[in-house]
Structure 1
Amino acid sequence: MNLRRILAGGTATIFATTALVACSSSDSEDGEGPIRIGTTDASKSAWTVFEEQAEARDIDLEVVNFGDYSTPNQALSQDELDVNLFQHLKFLAEYNVGSDDDLTPVGASEIVPLALFWKDKDSLDGIEGESIALPNDPSNQGRAINVLVQAGLITLKTPGLITPTPADIDEEASKVSIIPVDAAQTTVAYGEGTPAIINNSFLDRAGIDPNTAVFEDDPESEEAEPYINVFVTKAEDAEDPRVAELVELWHSEEVQNAVATDSAGTSVPVERNAAELQEILDRLEEAERNA
Protein backbone atom coordinates (compact mmCIF):
# COMPACT_ATOMS: atom_id res chain seq x y z
CA MET A 1 0.00 0.00 0.00
CA ASN A 2 1.33 3.41 -0.91
CA LEU A 3 -0.42 6.59 0.23
CA ARG A 4 1.03 9.93 -0.80
CA ARG A 5 0.03 13.53 -0.49
CA ILE A 6 1.33 16.17 -2.86
CA LEU A 7 1.00 19.91 -2.37
CA ALA A 8 0.28 21.78 -5.59
CA GLY A 9 -0.90 25.20 -6.59
CA GLY A 10 0.11 26.95 -3.38
CA THR A 11 1.32 30.21 -4.88
CA ALA A 12 1.74 29.67 -8.60
CA THR A 13 0.16 27.61 -11.32
CA ILE A 14 3.62 26.93 -12.77
CA PHE A 15 4.64 25.25 -9.54
CA ALA A 16 1.46 23.20 -9.50
CA THR A 17 1.99 22.02 -13.05
CA THR A 18 5.63 21.14 -12.44
CA ALA A 19 4.81 19.17 -9.30
CA LEU A 20 2.05 17.28 -11.03
CA VAL A 21 4.06 16.39 -14.11
CA ALA A 22 6.61 14.85 -11.79
CA CYS A 23 3.99 12.51 -10.36
CA SER A 24 2.35 11.64 -13.69
CA SER A 25 3.05 8.29 -15.28
CA SER A 26 1.74 5.88 -17.83
CA ASP A 27 1.28 3.44 -14.95
CA SER A 28 -1.64 5.49 -13.61
CA GLU A 29 -3.22 5.70 -17.06
CA ASP A 30 -3.23 1.92 -17.51
CA GLY A 31 -4.46 1.26 -13.96
CA GLU A 32 -1.17 -0.15 -12.68
CA GLY A 33 -0.03 2.83 -10.61
CA PRO A 34 -1.74 4.92 -7.91
CA ILE A 35 -5.01 6.62 -8.64
CA ARG A 36 -4.42 10.36 -8.34
CA ILE A 37 -7.23 12.43 -6.83
CA GLY A 38 -7.17 16.23 -6.57
CA THR A 39 -8.83 18.32 -3.89
CA THR A 40 -8.59 21.67 -2.14
CA ASP A 41 -9.55 20.26 1.27
CA ALA A 42 -6.87 17.67 2.11
CA SER A 43 -6.42 19.17 5.59
CA LYS A 44 -9.96 18.22 6.61
CA SER A 45 -10.44 15.14 8.74
CA ALA A 46 -12.66 13.50 6.11
CA TRP A 47 -9.70 13.23 3.76
CA THR A 48 -7.51 11.67 6.45
CA VAL A 49 -10.19 9.07 7.14
CA PHE A 50 -10.70 8.58 3.39
CA GLU A 51 -7.01 7.77 2.99
CA GLU A 52 -7.09 5.41 5.97
CA GLN A 53 -10.06 3.56 4.54
CA ALA A 54 -8.38 3.38 1.13
CA GLU A 55 -5.31 1.85 2.75
CA ALA A 56 -7.48 -0.69 4.57
CA ARG A 57 -8.94 -1.73 1.20
CA ASP A 58 -5.48 -1.84 -0.40
CA ILE A 59 -6.31 1.01 -2.79
CA ASP A 60 -3.16 2.72 -4.06
CA LEU A 61 -4.18 6.35 -3.61
CA GLU A 62 -2.32 9.60 -4.20
CA VAL A 63 -3.99 12.77 -2.90
CA VAL A 64 -2.92 16.02 -4.59
CA ASN A 65 -3.92 19.15 -2.69
CA PHE A 66 -4.35 22.48 -4.47
CA GLY A 67 -4.32 25.99 -3.03
CA ASP A 68 -6.81 27.40 -5.56
CA TYR A 69 -10.02 26.40 -7.31
CA SER A 70 -8.97 26.77 -10.94
CA THR A 71 -6.03 24.35 -11.14
CA PRO A 72 -7.68 21.00 -10.22
CA ASN A 73 -9.79 20.94 -13.38
CA GLN A 74 -6.88 22.02 -15.55
CA ALA A 75 -4.73 19.28 -14.04
CA LEU A 76 -7.44 16.70 -14.68
CA SER A 77 -7.89 17.81 -18.28
CA GLN A 78 -4.11 17.54 -18.82
CA ASP A 79 -3.96 13.95 -17.50
CA GLU A 80 -2.10 15.00 -14.36
CA LEU A 81 -4.95 13.63 -12.23
CA ASP A 82 -7.33 10.71 -12.64
CA VAL A 83 -10.22 12.28 -10.71
CA ASN A 84 -10.95 15.30 -8.57
CA LEU A 85 -13.37 16.06 -5.74
CA PHE A 86 -13.65 19.73 -4.80
CA GLN A 87 -16.48 21.32 -6.78
CA HIS A 88 -20.21 21.38 -7.21
CA LEU A 89 -22.01 20.89 -10.51
CA LYS A 90 -22.52 24.60 -11.16
CA PHE A 91 -18.79 25.29 -10.82
CA LEU A 92 -18.10 22.40 -13.19
CA ALA A 93 -20.61 23.75 -15.72
CA GLU A 94 -18.96 27.17 -15.63
CA TYR A 95 -15.54 25.58 -16.15
CA ASN A 96 -16.62 23.33 -19.02
CA VAL A 97 -18.36 26.13 -20.91
CA GLY A 98 -15.60 28.65 -20.26
CA SER A 99 -12.82 26.22 -21.23
CA ASP A 100 -14.70 24.32 -23.97
CA ASP A 101 -14.06 21.12 -22.01
CA ASP A 102 -16.16 18.04 -21.25
CA LEU A 103 -15.12 16.96 -17.77
CA THR A 104 -17.71 14.52 -16.46
CA PRO A 105 -19.37 13.93 -13.06
CA VAL A 106 -19.22 10.24 -12.10
CA GLY A 107 -20.52 10.27 -8.54
CA ALA A 108 -21.90 12.55 -5.85
CA SER A 109 -20.51 13.22 -2.40
CA GLU A 110 -22.66 15.65 -0.44
CA ILE A 111 -24.36 19.01 -0.43
CA VAL A 112 -23.99 21.65 2.27
CA PRO A 113 -27.16 23.73 2.61
CA LEU A 114 -26.84 27.51 2.34
CA ALA A 115 -28.52 29.19 5.29
CA LEU A 116 -29.95 32.46 6.56
CA PHE A 117 -28.82 33.63 10.01
CA TRP A 118 -30.31 36.37 12.20
CA LYS A 119 -28.58 37.20 15.45
CA ASP A 120 -30.57 36.29 18.58
CA LYS A 121 -33.51 35.08 16.46
CA ASP A 122 -34.74 31.52 16.04
CA SER A 123 -37.33 31.98 13.28
CA LEU A 124 -38.33 34.20 10.36
CA ASP A 125 -40.97 35.94 12.47
CA GLY A 126 -40.68 39.71 12.06
CA ILE A 127 -38.26 39.60 9.13
CA GLU A 128 -40.60 41.29 6.65
CA GLY A 129 -39.25 44.72 5.73
CA GLU A 130 -35.67 43.85 6.70
CA SER A 131 -32.66 44.15 4.40
CA ILE A 132 -30.71 40.90 4.11
CA ALA A 133 -26.97 40.72 3.47
CA LEU A 134 -25.85 38.05 1.02
CA PRO A 135 -22.66 37.14 -0.88
CA ASN A 136 -22.12 39.21 -4.02
CA ASP A 137 -20.04 36.71 -6.05
CA PRO A 138 -22.06 35.36 -9.01
CA SER A 139 -22.32 31.71 -7.96
CA ASN A 140 -23.22 32.26 -4.31
CA GLN A 141 -25.36 35.32 -4.97
CA GLY A 142 -27.69 33.40 -7.25
CA ARG A 143 -28.02 30.56 -4.78
CA ALA A 144 -28.58 33.00 -1.90
CA ILE A 145 -31.38 34.76 -3.76
CA ASN A 146 -33.00 31.37 -4.39
CA VAL A 147 -32.74 30.61 -0.65
CA LEU A 148 -34.89 33.69 -0.07
CA VAL A 149 -37.24 32.58 -2.84
CA GLN A 150 -37.67 29.21 -1.11
CA ALA A 151 -38.29 31.03 2.18
CA GLY A 152 -41.13 32.97 0.54
CA LEU A 153 -39.35 36.29 1.10
CA ILE A 154 -38.32 37.12 -2.47
CA THR A 155 -40.35 36.95 -5.67
CA LEU A 156 -38.59 36.75 -9.03
CA LYS A 157 -39.85 38.47 -12.16
CA THR A 158 -39.25 35.17 -13.97
CA PRO A 159 -39.71 32.12 -11.71
CA GLY A 160 -37.29 29.20 -11.81
CA LEU A 161 -34.06 31.00 -12.68
CA ILE A 162 -31.00 28.90 -11.80
CA THR A 163 -28.78 31.90 -11.07
CA PRO A 164 -30.94 34.96 -10.47
CA THR A 165 -29.36 38.38 -10.02
CA PRO A 166 -30.64 41.39 -8.05
CA ALA A 167 -32.09 42.71 -11.31
CA ASP A 168 -34.35 39.63 -11.51
CA ILE A 169 -36.07 40.43 -8.19
CA ASP A 170 -39.60 41.80 -8.25
CA GLU A 171 -39.08 44.31 -5.45
CA GLU A 172 -42.74 45.31 -5.12
CA ALA A 173 -43.84 41.69 -4.71
CA SER A 174 -41.01 40.78 -2.28
CA LYS A 175 -41.15 40.94 1.50
CA VAL A 176 -37.49 41.85 2.05
CA SER A 177 -34.72 43.68 0.23
CA ILE A 178 -31.13 42.54 -0.25
CA ILE A 179 -27.67 43.98 0.36
CA PRO A 180 -25.01 42.22 -1.76
CA VAL A 181 -21.64 42.28 0.04
CA ASP A 182 -18.35 40.43 -0.14
CA ALA A 183 -18.91 36.92 1.22
CA ALA A 184 -16.48 37.53 4.09
CA GLN A 185 -18.52 40.57 5.18
CA THR A 186 -21.76 38.63 5.68
CA THR A 187 -20.61 37.62 9.17
CA VAL A 188 -19.89 41.27 9.99
CA ALA A 189 -23.41 42.22 8.93
CA TYR A 190 -24.78 39.38 11.04
CA GLY A 191 -22.83 40.59 14.05
CA GLU A 192 -24.37 44.03 13.63
CA GLY A 193 -27.87 42.55 13.72
CA THR A 194 -28.56 42.36 9.99
CA PRO A 195 -30.03 39.07 8.76
CA ALA A 196 -27.41 37.45 6.52
CA ILE A 197 -26.93 34.46 4.28
CA ILE A 198 -23.51 33.09 5.21
CA ASN A 199 -21.41 30.49 3.41
CA ASN A 200 -20.64 27.48 5.58
CA SER A 201 -16.88 28.10 5.37
CA PHE A 202 -17.21 31.46 7.15
CA LEU A 203 -19.36 30.22 10.04
CA ASP A 204 -16.59 28.54 11.99
CA ARG A 205 -14.23 31.48 11.59
CA ALA A 206 -16.89 33.79 13.05
CA GLY A 207 -17.90 31.39 15.81
CA ILE A 208 -21.45 31.05 14.48
CA ASP A 209 -23.25 27.79 15.26
CA PRO A 210 -24.61 26.46 11.93
CA ASN A 211 -27.55 24.99 13.81
CA THR A 212 -28.82 28.49 14.66
CA ALA A 213 -29.95 29.17 11.08
CA VAL A 214 -33.47 30.53 10.78
CA PHE A 215 -33.84 29.06 7.27
CA GLU A 216 -31.81 26.99 4.82
CA ASP A 217 -32.35 25.71 1.31
CA ASP A 218 -33.74 22.23 0.87
CA PRO A 219 -30.96 19.88 -0.34
CA GLU A 220 -33.63 17.70 -1.96
CA SER A 221 -35.06 20.56 -4.02
CA GLU A 222 -34.41 21.17 -7.71
CA GLU A 223 -32.99 24.60 -6.82
CA ALA A 224 -30.25 22.92 -4.77
CA GLU A 225 -29.20 20.42 -7.46
CA PRO A 226 -26.52 22.70 -8.98
CA TYR A 227 -24.69 22.63 -5.64
CA ILE A 228 -24.22 18.88 -5.33
CA ASN A 229 -20.51 18.20 -4.86
CA VAL A 230 -19.17 15.64 -7.31
CA PHE A 231 -16.33 13.30 -8.28
CA VAL A 232 -15.16 14.37 -11.75
CA THR A 233 -13.08 12.65 -14.44
CA LYS A 234 -12.29 13.13 -18.11
CA ALA A 235 -15.16 11.85 -20.27
CA GLU A 236 -13.15 8.89 -21.56
CA ASP A 237 -12.36 7.77 -17.99
CA ALA A 238 -15.92 7.90 -16.67
CA GLU A 239 -16.17 4.10 -16.53
CA ASP A 240 -12.91 3.61 -14.59
CA PRO A 241 -13.81 1.03 -11.89
CA ARG A 242 -11.19 2.51 -9.55
CA VAL A 243 -13.08 5.80 -9.48
CA ALA A 244 -16.36 3.98 -8.80
CA GLU A 245 -14.64 2.33 -5.85
CA LEU A 246 -13.59 5.73 -4.50
CA VAL A 247 -17.17 7.03 -4.76
CA GLU A 248 -18.36 4.01 -2.81
CA LEU A 249 -15.61 4.49 -0.24
CA TRP A 250 -16.56 8.14 0.30
CA HIS A 251 -20.02 6.99 1.36
CA SER A 252 -18.68 4.56 3.94
CA GLU A 253 -19.84 5.17 7.50
CA GLU A 254 -16.34 6.14 8.63
CA VAL A 255 -15.85 8.83 5.98
CA GLN A 256 -19.38 10.20 6.30
CA ASN A 257 -18.96 10.56 10.06
CA ALA A 258 -15.83 12.61 9.41
CA VAL A 259 -17.59 14.74 6.77
CA ALA A 260 -20.35 15.46 9.30
CA THR A 261 -17.75 16.49 11.88
CA ASP A 262 -16.01 18.80 9.40
CA SER A 263 -19.30 20.51 8.52
CA ALA A 264 -20.62 20.65 12.10
CA GLY A 265 -23.42 18.32 11.09
CA THR A 266 -24.73 20.45 8.23
CA SER A 267 -23.63 18.32 5.25
CA VAL A 268 -26.19 16.07 3.61
CA PRO A 269 -24.94 12.92 1.81
CA VAL A 270 -26.08 12.70 -1.80
CA GLU A 271 -26.21 9.51 -3.83
CA ARG A 272 -27.02 10.26 -7.46
CA ASN A 273 -25.84 8.09 -10.32
CA ALA A 274 -23.67 9.42 -13.13
CA ALA A 275 -26.56 9.70 -15.58
CA GLU A 276 -28.59 11.85 -13.20
CA LEU A 277 -25.62 14.09 -12.49
CA GLN A 278 -24.86 14.47 -16.20
CA GLU A 279 -28.47 15.45 -16.85
CA ILE A 280 -28.21 18.24 -14.27
CA LEU A 281 -24.84 19.31 -15.69
CA ASP A 282 -26.23 19.45 -19.23
CA ARG A 283 -29.01 21.73 -18.03
CA LEU A 284 -26.56 24.00 -16.22
CA GLU A 285 -24.21 24.18 -19.19
CA GLU A 286 -27.06 25.13 -21.49
CA ALA A 287 -28.08 27.90 -19.09
CA GLU A 288 -24.46 29.06 -18.89
CA ARG A 289 -24.16 29.26 -22.68
CA ASN A 290 -27.39 31.23 -22.91
CA ALA A 291 -26.51 33.63 -20.11
Structure 2
Amino acid sequence: MQIRRVLAATSAAVIAATGLVACSSDSSDSASGDSESSEQDGPIRVGTTDAAKKAWAVLEEQAEAAGLDIEIENFADYSTPNQALEQGQLDTNNFQHLKFLAEYNVGNDSDLTPIVATEIIPLALFWKDHDSLDGIEGESIAIPNDPSNQGRAINVLVQADLITLKEEGLVTPTPADIDTEASKVQITPVDAAQTPSAYGEGTPAIINNSFLDRAGIDPNLAVFQDDPNSPEAEPYINAFVVRAEDADNETIKKLAELWHSPEVQAAVDEDAKGTSVQVERTQEELQEILDRLEEAERNS
Protein backbone atom coordinates (compact mmCIF):
# COMPACT_ATOMS: atom_id res chain seq x y z
CA MET A 1 0.00 0.00 0.00
CA GLN A 2 1.36 3.36 -0.98
CA ILE A 3 0.41 6.64 0.63
CA ARG A 4 1.76 9.85 -0.85
CA ARG A 5 1.70 13.32 0.63
CA VAL A 6 2.29 16.20 -1.76
CA LEU A 7 2.98 19.57 -0.18
CA ALA A 8 1.87 21.92 -2.94
CA ALA A 9 2.60 25.30 -1.41
CA THR A 10 2.05 27.01 -4.74
CA SER A 11 0.34 30.37 -4.46
CA ALA A 12 -2.97 31.12 -6.14
CA ALA A 13 -1.29 33.47 -8.58
CA VAL A 14 1.15 30.83 -9.77
CA ILE A 15 -1.57 28.21 -10.12
CA ALA A 16 -3.75 30.64 -12.03
CA ALA A 17 -0.89 31.44 -14.37
CA THR A 18 0.15 27.90 -15.08
CA GLY A 19 -3.24 26.17 -14.88
CA LEU A 20 -4.30 23.31 -12.67
CA VAL A 21 -2.83 20.15 -14.14
CA ALA A 22 -4.10 16.76 -13.06
CA CYS A 23 -1.72 14.66 -11.02
CA SER A 24 -2.11 11.64 -13.24
CA SER A 25 -3.25 10.81 -16.74
CA ASP A 26 -6.18 8.87 -15.29
CA SER A 27 -7.91 11.91 -13.79
CA SER A 28 -10.20 12.57 -16.74
CA ASP A 29 -11.45 9.00 -16.64
CA SER A 30 -12.15 9.29 -12.91
CA ALA A 31 -13.98 12.60 -13.30
CA SER A 32 -16.23 11.33 -16.07
CA GLY A 33 -16.85 7.85 -14.71
CA ASP A 34 -20.12 6.35 -13.52
CA SER A 35 -21.17 8.16 -10.34
CA GLU A 36 -22.70 4.97 -8.98
CA SER A 37 -19.39 3.15 -9.20
CA SER A 38 -17.39 2.36 -6.10
CA GLU A 39 -14.24 1.90 -8.14
CA GLN A 40 -11.40 4.38 -7.75
CA ASP A 41 -8.83 4.53 -10.53
CA GLY A 42 -5.54 5.42 -8.82
CA PRO A 43 -5.05 7.05 -5.41
CA ILE A 44 -7.76 9.16 -3.80
CA ARG A 45 -6.38 12.69 -4.10
CA VAL A 46 -7.43 14.81 -1.13
CA GLY A 47 -6.95 18.57 -0.91
CA THR A 48 -6.58 20.59 2.28
CA THR A 49 -5.02 23.78 3.59
CA ASP A 50 -3.56 22.29 6.77
CA ALA A 51 -1.84 19.02 5.80
CA ALA A 52 0.77 19.48 8.54
CA LYS A 53 -1.81 18.80 11.27
CA LYS A 54 -1.65 15.49 13.07
CA ALA A 55 -5.16 14.46 11.99
CA TRP A 56 -4.01 14.07 8.40
CA ALA A 57 -1.12 11.80 9.34
CA VAL A 58 -3.50 9.65 11.38
CA LEU A 59 -5.99 9.58 8.50
CA GLU A 60 -3.21 8.26 6.28
CA GLU A 61 -2.58 5.46 8.78
CA GLN A 62 -6.28 4.61 8.98
CA ALA A 63 -6.59 4.66 5.19
CA GLU A 64 -3.68 2.27 4.81
CA ALA A 65 -5.25 -0.10 7.35
CA ALA A 66 -8.50 0.06 5.38
CA GLY A 67 -6.73 -0.75 2.13
CA LEU A 68 -7.13 2.70 0.62
CA ASP A 69 -4.46 4.43 -1.45
CA ILE A 70 -4.51 8.17 -0.79
CA GLU A 71 -2.55 11.25 -1.76
CA ILE A 72 -2.83 14.41 0.31
CA GLU A 73 -2.16 17.76 -1.34
CA ASN A 74 -1.73 20.96 0.64
CA PHE A 75 -2.75 24.36 -0.73
CA ALA A 76 -1.58 27.74 0.52
CA ASP A 77 -4.92 29.53 0.11
CA TYR A 78 -8.65 28.90 0.36
CA SER A 79 -9.60 29.37 -3.30
CA THR A 80 -7.55 26.79 -5.16
CA PRO A 81 -8.70 23.55 -3.42
CA ASN A 82 -12.15 23.97 -4.98
CA GLN A 83 -10.71 24.98 -8.33
CA ALA A 84 -8.43 21.95 -8.22
CA LEU A 85 -11.37 19.70 -7.41
CA GLU A 86 -13.46 21.07 -10.26
CA GLN A 87 -10.64 20.68 -12.75
CA GLY A 88 -9.88 17.08 -11.80
CA GLN A 89 -6.62 17.61 -9.90
CA LEU A 90 -8.35 16.31 -6.75
CA ASP A 91 -11.00 13.69 -5.99
CA THR A 92 -12.18 15.35 -2.76
CA ASN A 93 -11.21 18.12 -0.38
CA ASN A 94 -11.71 18.85 3.30
CA PHE A 95 -10.98 22.42 4.35
CA GLN A 96 -14.22 24.42 4.19
CA HIS A 97 -17.57 24.89 5.84
CA LEU A 98 -20.89 24.80 3.99
CA LYS A 99 -21.24 28.59 3.90
CA PHE A 100 -17.91 28.93 2.10
CA LEU A 101 -18.92 26.14 -0.30
CA ALA A 102 -22.25 27.82 -1.05
CA GLU A 103 -20.51 31.08 -1.87
CA TYR A 104 -18.05 29.28 -4.13
CA ASN A 105 -20.74 27.32 -5.96
CA VAL A 106 -22.93 30.36 -6.59
CA GLY A 107 -20.01 32.60 -7.52
CA ASN A 108 -18.54 30.06 -9.93
CA ASP A 109 -21.71 28.41 -11.26
CA SER A 110 -20.48 25.16 -9.72
CA ASP A 111 -22.14 22.15 -8.12
CA LEU A 112 -19.52 20.81 -5.73
CA THR A 113 -21.22 18.53 -3.23
CA PRO A 114 -20.68 17.67 0.49
CA ILE A 115 -20.65 13.96 1.29
CA VAL A 116 -19.46 13.58 4.91
CA ALA A 117 -19.62 16.13 7.73
CA THR A 118 -16.52 16.51 9.89
CA GLU A 119 -16.70 19.16 12.62
CA ILE A 120 -17.55 22.69 13.60
CA ILE A 121 -14.79 24.92 14.85
CA PRO A 122 -16.25 27.67 17.04
CA LEU A 123 -15.32 31.21 16.06
CA ALA A 124 -14.03 33.14 19.04
CA LEU A 125 -13.13 36.57 20.35
CA PHE A 126 -9.69 37.10 21.88
CA TRP A 127 -8.42 40.01 23.96
CA LYS A 128 -4.81 39.97 25.08
CA ASP A 129 -4.31 39.89 28.86
CA HIS A 130 -8.08 39.62 29.47
CA ASP A 131 -10.13 36.61 30.52
CA SER A 132 -13.63 38.10 30.18
CA LEU A 133 -15.61 40.77 28.31
CA ASP A 134 -15.39 43.12 31.29
CA GLY A 135 -14.33 46.58 30.13
CA ILE A 136 -14.65 45.89 26.41
CA GLU A 137 -17.40 48.47 25.81
CA GLY A 138 -16.14 51.29 23.61
CA GLU A 139 -13.38 49.15 22.03
CA SER A 140 -12.96 48.63 18.31
CA ILE A 141 -12.80 44.91 17.52
CA ALA A 142 -10.84 43.51 14.57
CA ILE A 143 -12.83 40.97 12.54
CA PRO A 144 -12.04 39.02 9.34
CA ASN A 145 -13.15 40.96 6.26
CA ASP A 146 -13.86 38.04 3.89
CA PRO A 147 -17.62 37.65 3.25
CA SER A 148 -17.86 34.12 4.66
CA ASN A 149 -16.28 34.89 8.03
CA GLN A 150 -17.23 38.55 8.40
CA GLY A 151 -20.93 37.80 8.81
CA ARG A 152 -20.24 35.04 11.29
CA ALA A 153 -17.89 37.29 13.26
CA ILE A 154 -20.54 40.00 13.50
CA ASN A 155 -23.02 37.40 14.76
CA VAL A 156 -20.50 36.30 17.41
CA LEU A 157 -20.57 39.88 18.69
CA VAL A 158 -24.38 39.87 18.50
CA GLN A 159 -24.45 36.72 20.66
CA ALA A 160 -22.05 38.42 23.08
CA ASP A 161 -24.55 41.33 23.36
CA LEU A 162 -21.93 43.73 22.04
CA ILE A 163 -23.47 44.47 18.62
CA THR A 164 -27.08 45.22 17.74
CA LEU A 165 -28.32 44.69 14.20
CA LYS A 166 -30.90 46.82 12.44
CA GLU A 167 -32.71 43.57 11.55
CA GLU A 168 -32.57 40.46 13.73
CA GLY A 169 -31.74 36.98 12.47
CA LEU A 170 -29.46 37.82 9.53
CA VAL A 171 -27.29 34.83 8.60
CA THR A 172 -24.60 36.95 6.96
CA PRO A 173 -24.81 40.50 8.31
CA THR A 174 -22.45 43.15 6.97
CA PRO A 175 -21.09 46.25 8.71
CA ALA A 176 -23.93 48.20 7.06
CA ASP A 177 -26.44 46.07 9.01
CA ILE A 178 -25.06 47.19 12.38
CA ASP A 179 -27.02 49.69 14.46
CA THR A 180 -23.99 51.65 15.61
CA GLU A 181 -25.95 53.83 18.04
CA ALA A 182 -27.33 50.78 19.88
CA SER A 183 -24.06 48.80 19.85
CA LYS A 184 -21.50 48.72 22.63
CA VAL A 185 -18.41 48.26 20.42
CA GLN A 186 -17.23 49.17 16.95
CA ILE A 187 -15.70 46.82 14.39
CA THR A 188 -12.66 47.09 12.15
CA PRO A 189 -12.73 44.58 9.26
CA VAL A 190 -9.22 43.44 8.32
CA ASP A 191 -7.68 40.59 6.35
CA ALA A 192 -8.17 37.39 8.36
CA ALA A 193 -4.40 36.84 8.43
CA GLN A 194 -3.97 40.19 10.20
CA THR A 195 -6.30 39.45 13.13
CA PRO A 196 -3.55 37.76 15.21
CA SER A 197 -1.37 40.85 14.74
CA ALA A 198 -4.20 43.07 15.96
CA TYR A 199 -4.60 40.80 18.99
CA GLY A 200 -0.85 40.98 19.68
CA GLU A 201 -1.06 44.76 19.69
CA GLY A 202 -3.80 44.67 22.32
CA THR A 203 -6.83 45.07 20.06
CA PRO A 204 -9.70 42.64 20.72
CA ALA A 205 -9.96 40.39 17.67
CA ILE A 206 -12.04 37.57 16.29
CA ILE A 207 -9.54 35.04 14.93
CA ASN A 208 -10.13 32.01 12.72
CA ASN A 209 -8.91 28.77 14.25
CA SER A 210 -6.32 28.16 11.51
CA PHE A 211 -4.68 31.53 12.17
CA LEU A 212 -4.66 30.86 15.91
CA ASP A 213 -2.56 27.79 15.28
CA ARG A 214 -0.12 29.61 13.01
CA ALA A 215 0.25 32.47 15.51
CA GLY A 216 0.67 30.14 18.48
CA ILE A 217 -2.38 31.55 20.28
CA ASP A 218 -4.07 29.17 22.73
CA PRO A 219 -7.75 28.85 21.66
CA ASN A 220 -8.71 28.33 25.29
CA LEU A 221 -7.84 31.99 25.94
CA ALA A 222 -11.01 33.12 24.14
CA VAL A 223 -13.18 35.56 26.08
CA PHE A 224 -16.26 34.57 24.04
CA GLN A 225 -17.24 32.16 21.24
CA ASP A 226 -20.35 31.20 19.28
CA ASP A 227 -22.42 28.14 20.16
CA PRO A 228 -21.57 25.26 17.76
CA ASN A 229 -24.77 23.38 18.66
CA SER A 230 -27.18 26.14 17.66
CA PRO A 231 -29.13 26.13 14.37
CA GLU A 232 -27.24 29.30 13.48
CA ALA A 233 -24.06 27.19 13.40
CA GLU A 234 -25.25 24.88 10.60
CA PRO A 235 -23.65 26.99 7.84
CA TYR A 236 -20.29 26.42 9.52
CA ILE A 237 -20.30 22.61 9.44
CA ASN A 238 -17.11 21.46 7.73
CA ALA A 239 -17.28 18.61 5.24
CA PHE A 240 -15.54 16.43 2.69
CA VAL A 241 -16.59 17.73 -0.73
CA VAL A 242 -16.61 16.09 -4.18
CA ARG A 243 -17.72 16.86 -7.72
CA ALA A 244 -21.42 16.14 -8.20
CA GLU A 245 -20.70 13.10 -10.37
CA ASP A 246 -18.78 11.53 -7.47
CA ALA A 247 -21.53 12.03 -4.88
CA ASP A 248 -22.14 8.27 -4.81
CA ASN A 249 -18.51 7.15 -5.03
CA GLU A 250 -18.36 4.62 -2.21
CA THR A 251 -14.55 4.51 -2.13
CA ILE A 252 -14.29 8.26 -1.48
CA LYS A 253 -17.08 8.03 1.10
CA LYS A 254 -15.26 5.20 2.85
CA LEU A 255 -12.18 7.39 3.17
CA ALA A 256 -14.16 10.42 4.34
CA GLU A 257 -15.96 8.39 7.00
CA LEU A 258 -12.59 7.40 8.47
CA TRP A 259 -12.41 11.00 9.73
CA HIS A 260 -14.86 9.90 12.44
CA SER A 261 -12.69 7.01 13.61
CA PRO A 262 -11.60 7.32 17.26
CA GLU A 263 -7.97 7.61 16.19
CA VAL A 264 -8.54 10.52 13.80
CA GLN A 265 -10.91 12.26 16.21
CA ALA A 266 -8.33 12.09 18.98
CA ALA A 267 -5.85 13.79 16.64
CA VAL A 268 -8.43 16.42 15.60
CA ASP A 269 -9.05 17.16 19.27
CA GLU A 270 -5.32 17.51 19.86
CA ASP A 271 -4.87 19.77 16.82
CA ALA A 272 -7.76 22.01 17.91
CA LYS A 273 -6.72 21.92 21.57
CA GLY A 274 -10.15 20.65 22.55
CA THR A 275 -12.18 23.29 20.70
CA SER A 276 -13.38 21.17 17.77
CA VAL A 277 -16.95 19.79 17.92
CA GLN A 278 -17.54 16.59 15.94
CA VAL A 279 -20.59 16.70 13.65
CA GLU A 280 -22.39 13.75 12.10
CA ARG A 281 -25.08 14.64 9.56
CA THR A 282 -26.37 12.58 6.67
CA GLN A 283 -25.36 13.46 3.13
CA GLU A 284 -28.97 14.46 2.47
CA GLU A 285 -29.00 16.82 5.45
CA LEU A 286 -25.78 18.44 4.32
CA GLN A 287 -27.18 18.96 0.83
CA GLU A 288 -30.37 20.48 2.24
CA ILE A 289 -28.34 22.99 4.26
CA LEU A 290 -26.17 23.76 1.23
CA ASP A 291 -29.21 24.26 -1.02
CA ARG A 292 -30.69 26.68 1.50
CA LEU A 293 -27.44 28.64 1.76
CA GLU A 294 -27.03 28.78 -2.02
CA GLU A 295 -30.55 30.13 -2.42
CA ALA A 296 -29.87 32.81 0.18
CA GLU A 297 -26.58 33.65 -1.55
CA ARG A 298 -28.32 34.07 -4.93
CA ASN A 299 -30.95 36.33 -3.35
CA SER A 300 -28.50 38.46 -1.45
TM-score, normalised relative to structure 1: 0.91
Residue 5, structure 1, aligned to residue 5, structure 2: yes
Structure 1 SS opposite 2:52: coil
**Worse overlay, 224-233 or 183-192:** 183-192
Residue 26, structure 1, aligned to residue 29, structure 2: yes
Residue 216, structure 1, aligned to residue 188, structure 2: no
Identical aligned pairs, as a percentage? 71
- Output the CA distance in 2 between the equivalents of 1:69 and 1:186: 17
Instruction: Give 2:55's aligned residue.
Output: 46
Letter in 1 for 2:21: T
In structure 1, stretches of 5+ residues that fail to align are none
Check conservation: 2:123, 2:208, Cα contact below 8 A: yes
Structure 2 SS opposite 1:17: coil
Letter in 1 for 2:119: E
Check conservation: 1:2, 1:60, Cα contact below 8 A: yes
Structure 2 SS opposite 1:174: coil
Residue 120, structure 1, aligned to residue 123, structure 2: no
Letter in 2 for 1:164: P
- Output the CA distance in 2 between the equivalents of 1:78 and 1:193: 43
Instruction: Give 1:157's aligned residue.
Output: 166
Check conservation: 1:103, 1:232, Cα contact below 8 A: yes
Letter in 1 for 2:281: R
Q: Determine which of 105, 111, 121 is the counterpart of 1:102.
A: 111
Instruction: Tell me the C-alpha RMSD between the 2 structures.
Output: 2.1
Deviation string 1:166-221 (CA, Å, 9 cap, x unpaired) is: 11001122222222223233233323333221222222343322101110011112
Closer/same/farther in 2, CA of residues 181 and 37 from structure 1, 3 Å limit: closer
Instruction: Give 2:145's aligned residue.
Output: 136
Structure 2 SS opposite 1:62: strand
In structure 2, stretches of 5+ residues that fail to align are 34-38
Check conservation: 1:116, 1:198, Cα contact below 8 A: yes
**Worse overlay, 207-216 or 190-199:** 190-199
Structure 2 SS opposite 1:74: helix
Instruction: Give 1:252's aligned residue.
Output: 261
User: 1:25 offset after TM fit, Å?
Assistant: 6.1
Closer/same/farther in 2, CA of residues 186 and 69 from structure 1, 3 Å limit: closer
- Output the CA distance in 2 between the equivalents of 1:149 and 1:171: 12
Q: Number of aligned pairs?
A: 291
TM-score, normalised relative to structure 2: 0.88
User: 1:7 offset after TM fit, Å?
Assistant: 4.2
- Output the CA distance in 1 between the equivalents of 2:81 and 2:243: 12
